[in-house]
Structure 1
């Protein structure tokens, strides 16, 4: 399973989903799906924008959890 750690990083940075949407220019609905880890696809450009806004790396943002349970149906 791939885990998207937007919620965790927003908490560490004391930032809201709206703040991230404003900083990145990514739709709030998309940020919400990333936050809830329900998104099925993400643009590489969005990953870059989020990493810049949160001052993190891709490895900080996305994690592969071996043997993890899927949160959604694929």
Structure 2
């Protein structure tokens, strides 16, 4: 599974979901889904906007972790 570290970056920069949505132009529901690790897809321009905002790389924003045992895919 892919884990998103957006909440960590938001805490680091003292930003709320509404702030990230406003500063990146992303839909608030997209930012919320990423924060909750419930997003099923994200467009590359959105990843680029987030990386630009937080001055980070894609690997700082996302991490691949093993699936939980017994979870449905």
The two structures share one fold, judged by TM-score above 0.5: yes
Structure 2 distance, partners of 1:22, 1:73, is 34
Match of 1:68? 67
How far apart in 1 are the matches of 2:28 and 2:64? Answer: 25
Q: 1:73 to 1:18 in 2, by over 3 A?
A: farther
5+ long unaligned stretches in structure 1: none
Separation in 1 of the partners of 2:53 and 2:5?
14
Taking structure 1 as reference, are residues 73 and 45 closer, same or farther at Cα in structure 2, changes over 3 Å only? farther
- How far the C-alpha of 1:69 sits from its partner, in A, is 1.8
**What's the RMSD between the two structures over aligned residues?**
1.7
TM-score of the aligned structures, taking structure 2 as reference length = 0.89
Residue correspondence of structure 1 range 1-74 to structure 2 within 5 A: 1-65=1-65, 67-69=66-68, 74=73
How many residue pairs end up in the alignment? Answer: 72
| Cα deviation 1:26-51 (Å, max 9, x = unaligned) | 00011000110100010000000000
The structure with more radius of gyration: 2
